[in-house]
Protein backbone atom coordinates (compact mmCIF):
# COMPACT_ATOMS: atom_id res chain seq x y z
CA UNK A 1 0.00 0.00 0.00
CA UNK A 2 0.89 3.67 -0.40
CA UNK A 3 0.30 5.25 3.00
CA UNK A 4 0.32 8.99 3.65
CA UNK A 5 1.55 9.50 7.22
CA UNK A 6 0.77 12.98 8.52
CA UNK A 7 2.79 13.94 11.58
CA UNK A 8 5.56 11.51 10.76
CA UNK A 9 8.22 13.48 12.65
CA UNK A 10 6.46 13.18 16.02
CA UNK A 11 7.03 10.50 18.64
CA UNK A 12 4.07 8.39 17.58
CA UNK A 13 4.59 9.20 13.90
CA UNK A 14 8.14 7.87 13.90
CA UNK A 15 6.98 4.65 15.57
CA UNK A 16 4.15 4.25 13.02
CA UNK A 17 6.61 4.66 10.16
CA UNK A 18 8.93 2.06 11.69
CA UNK A 19 6.03 -0.36 12.09
CA UNK A 20 4.68 0.02 8.54
CA UNK A 21 7.61 0.78 6.26
CA UNK A 22 8.89 -2.79 5.96
CA UNK A 23 5.59 -3.82 4.37
CA UNK A 24 4.36 -0.68 2.62
CA UNK A 25 5.42 2.54 0.95
CA UNK A 26 5.09 5.13 3.71
CA UNK A 27 5.08 8.76 2.61
CA UNK A 28 5.94 11.01 5.57
CA UNK A 29 4.22 14.39 5.61
CA UNK A 30 4.26 17.41 7.88
CA UNK A 31 4.15 21.17 8.04
CA UNK A 32 7.94 21.54 8.26
CA UNK A 33 9.34 18.12 7.38
CA UNK A 34 8.67 14.98 5.39
CA UNK A 35 8.57 14.04 1.72
CA UNK A 36 5.32 16.01 1.35
CA UNK A 37 4.50 19.34 2.98
CA UNK A 38 1.02 19.31 4.48
CA UNK A 39 -0.47 21.71 7.01
CA UNK A 40 -3.72 20.34 8.46
CA UNK A 41 -4.84 23.92 9.27
CA UNK A 42 -4.89 24.78 5.58
CA UNK A 43 -7.36 23.06 3.26
CA UNK A 44 -5.43 24.17 0.17
CA UNK A 45 -2.27 22.63 1.60
CA UNK A 46 -4.11 19.35 2.15
CA UNK A 47 -5.55 19.37 -1.35
CA UNK A 48 -2.17 20.23 -2.91
CA UNK A 49 -0.54 17.33 -1.07
CA UNK A 50 -3.13 14.85 -2.35
CA UNK A 51 -2.80 16.24 -5.88
CA UNK A 52 0.96 15.86 -5.70
CA UNK A 53 0.68 12.23 -4.60
CA UNK A 54 -1.87 11.26 -7.25
CA UNK A 55 -3.61 8.68 -5.07
CA UNK A 56 -2.91 6.74 -1.88
CA UNK A 57 -4.38 3.65 -0.27
CA UNK A 58 -4.41 4.92 3.29
CA UNK A 59 -4.04 8.10 5.33
CA UNK A 60 -2.74 8.00 8.89
CA UNK A 61 -2.91 11.16 10.98
CA UNK A 62 -0.69 11.38 14.05
CA UNK A 63 -0.88 15.10 14.53
CA UNK A 64 -2.87 17.82 16.24
CA UNK A 65 -2.49 20.24 19.13
CA UNK A 66 -4.78 21.23 21.99
CA UNK A 67 -4.54 23.76 24.79
CA UNK A 68 -3.75 22.46 28.30
CA UNK A 69 -4.60 24.91 31.09
CA UNK A 70 -6.72 25.04 34.25
CA UNK A 71 -10.40 25.36 33.42
CA UNK A 72 -10.63 28.68 35.26
CA UNK A 73 -8.05 30.13 32.84
CA UNK A 74 -9.54 28.71 29.65
CA UNK A 75 -11.22 31.12 27.25
CA UNK A 76 -13.39 30.48 24.21
CA UNK A 77 -10.43 31.13 21.93
CA UNK A 78 -8.50 28.28 23.56
CA UNK A 79 -11.26 25.82 22.75
CA UNK A 80 -11.63 27.17 19.23
CA UNK A 81 -7.89 26.74 18.62
CA UNK A 82 -8.05 23.16 19.86
CA UNK A 83 -11.09 22.39 17.72
CA UNK A 84 -9.55 23.95 14.61
CA UNK A 85 -6.25 22.20 15.09
CA UNK A 86 -6.64 18.62 16.26
CA UNK A 87 -10.31 18.07 15.43
CA UNK A 88 -11.04 19.99 12.22
CA UNK A 89 -7.52 19.50 10.91
CA UNK A 90 -8.06 15.74 10.94
CA UNK A 91 -11.67 16.02 9.75
CA UNK A 92 -10.44 18.07 6.77
CA UNK A 93 -7.95 15.32 5.91
CA UNK A 94 -10.94 13.03 5.53
CA UNK A 95 -13.25 15.49 3.78
CA UNK A 96 -10.64 16.31 1.16
CA UNK A 97 -8.90 12.94 1.15
CA UNK A 98 -12.01 10.87 0.44
CA UNK A 99 -11.74 12.01 -3.20
CA UNK A 100 -8.12 10.83 -3.44
CA UNK A 101 -7.94 7.67 -1.32
CA UNK A 102 -8.46 4.46 -3.26
CA UNK A 103 -11.71 2.49 -3.03
CA UNK A 104 -11.55 0.25 0.04
CA UNK A 105 -8.76 2.49 1.36
CA UNK A 106 -8.69 3.82 4.89
CA UNK A 107 -8.26 6.78 7.19
CA UNK A 108 -6.83 6.46 10.70
CA UNK A 109 -7.12 9.47 12.99
CA UNK A 110 -5.66 10.10 16.45
CA UNK A 111 -7.68 10.97 19.54
CA UNK A 112 -6.53 10.09 23.07
CA UNK A 113 -7.56 8.74 26.45
CA UNK A 114 -8.81 12.00 27.96
CA UNK A 115 -12.30 11.59 26.53
CA UNK A 116 -12.86 8.82 29.10
CA UNK A 117 -10.18 9.54 31.73
CA UNK A 118 -9.94 13.33 32.18
CA UNK A 119 -7.14 15.20 33.91
CA UNK A 120 -6.85 18.63 35.49
CA UNK A 121 -6.19 21.21 32.80
CA UNK A 122 -7.37 18.91 30.02
CA UNK A 123 -10.92 20.05 29.20
CA UNK A 124 -10.04 21.02 25.62
CA UNK A 125 -8.31 17.71 24.98
CA UNK A 126 -11.23 15.75 26.44
CA UNK A 127 -13.69 17.66 24.25
CA UNK A 128 -11.64 17.26 21.08
CA UNK A 129 -10.86 13.57 21.61
CA UNK A 130 -14.53 12.83 22.18
CA UNK A 131 -15.38 14.73 19.01
CA UNK A 132 -12.87 12.79 16.93
CA UNK A 133 -14.19 9.46 18.21
CA UNK A 134 -17.81 10.45 17.54
CA UNK A 135 -16.91 11.70 14.05
CA UNK A 136 -15.22 8.39 13.20
CA UNK A 137 -18.21 6.38 14.39
CA UNK A 138 -20.71 8.48 12.44
CA UNK A 139 -18.63 8.91 9.27
CA UNK A 140 -17.93 5.18 9.05
CA UNK A 141 -21.52 4.44 7.99
CA UNK A 142 -21.36 6.95 5.13
CA UNK A 143 -17.84 6.64 3.72
CA UNK A 144 -17.74 6.47 -0.09
CA UNK A 145 -16.37 3.58 -2.17
CA UNK A 146 -16.15 1.18 0.79
CA UNK A 147 -13.47 3.38 2.40
CA UNK A 148 -12.87 2.71 6.09
CA UNK A 149 -12.26 5.13 8.95
CA UNK A 150 -10.99 4.47 12.48
CA UNK A 151 -9.27 6.28 15.32
CA UNK A 152 -6.45 5.27 17.62
CA UNK A 153 -6.76 6.51 21.20
CA UNK A 154 -3.40 6.02 22.91
CA UNK A 155 -2.55 6.59 26.51
CA UNK A 156 0.34 8.87 27.43
CA UNK A 157 3.33 7.80 25.35
CA UNK A 158 6.29 6.52 27.33
CA UNK A 159 8.87 8.28 25.19
CA UNK A 160 7.13 11.63 25.73
CA UNK A 161 6.54 11.19 29.45
CA UNK A 162 9.26 13.67 30.44
CA UNK A 163 7.22 16.38 28.69
CA UNK A 164 3.78 15.34 29.95
CA UNK A 165 4.46 13.64 33.30
CA UNK A 166 3.10 16.49 35.45
CA UNK A 167 -0.31 16.09 33.76
CA UNK A 168 -0.42 12.30 33.91
CA UNK A 169 0.66 11.25 37.40
CA UNK A 170 -0.36 7.66 38.07
CA UNK A 171 -1.08 6.83 34.42
CA UNK A 172 0.53 3.73 32.92
CA UNK A 173 2.66 4.91 29.98
CA UNK A 174 2.32 3.25 26.59
CA UNK A 175 5.44 2.51 24.51
CA UNK A 176 5.21 4.25 21.14
CA UNK A 177 5.76 0.98 19.29
CA UNK A 178 2.77 -0.62 21.02
CA UNK A 179 0.62 2.34 20.01
CA UNK A 180 1.96 2.05 16.46
CA UNK A 181 0.66 -1.51 16.23
CA UNK A 182 -2.88 -0.19 16.72
CA UNK A 183 -2.40 2.06 13.69
CA UNK A 184 -1.18 -0.98 11.73
CA UNK A 185 -4.29 -2.87 12.83
CA UNK A 186 -6.46 -0.06 11.52
CA UNK A 187 -4.61 0.27 8.21
CA UNK A 188 -4.09 -3.41 7.47
CA UNK A 189 -7.28 -4.80 9.01
CA UNK A 190 -10.89 -4.77 7.86
CA UNK A 191 -12.70 -2.93 10.65
CA UNK A 192 -14.30 0.47 10.37
CA UNK A 193 -15.90 2.90 12.81
CA UNK A 194 -13.66 1.62 15.59
CA UNK A 195 -11.69 3.49 18.26
CA UNK A 196 -8.64 1.37 19.00
CA UNK A 197 -7.81 2.20 22.62
CA UNK A 198 -4.21 1.52 23.64
CA UNK A 199 -3.72 1.60 27.40
What pLDDT digit, counting tens, does each position of 113-169 carry? 999 999 999 999 999 999 999 999 999 999 999 999 999 999 999 999 998 888 999
Give the whole-angstrom CA distance, residue 98 versus residue 59.
10
Domain ranges, residue 23: 2-198
Instruction: Name the strand (E) or helix (H) holding 106.
Output: strand 101-110
Q: What percent of the chain has pLDDT over 90?
A: 96
Instruction: Give the global pTM.
Output: 0.97
Distance separating the N- and C-terminal Cα atoms of the chain: 28
Number of folded domains in the chain? 1
Percent of the chain as helix, strand, coil, to the nearest 5:
45, 20, 35
Give the whole-angstrom CA distance, residue 11 versus residue 154.
12
pLDDT score at 113: 97
Using an 8 Å Cβ cutoff, are 141 and 100 in contact? no
Helices (H), the chain: 11-20, 43-53, 76-82, 88-97, 123-139, 161-164, 176-188
pLDDT tens-digit map of 4-30:
999 999 999 999 999 999 999 999 999
Cα 1 versus chain centre, distance: 19
**CATH code of residue 73:** 3.40.50.720
pLDDT score at 164: 87
Give the whole-angstrom CA distance, residue 8 versus residue 3.
11
Amino acid sequence: MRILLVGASGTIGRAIQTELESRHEVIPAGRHSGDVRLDIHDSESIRAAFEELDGVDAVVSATGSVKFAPFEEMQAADYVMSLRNKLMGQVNLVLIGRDYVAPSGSFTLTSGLLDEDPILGGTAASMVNGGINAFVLAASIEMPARQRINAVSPGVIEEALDQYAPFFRGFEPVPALRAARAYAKSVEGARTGVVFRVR
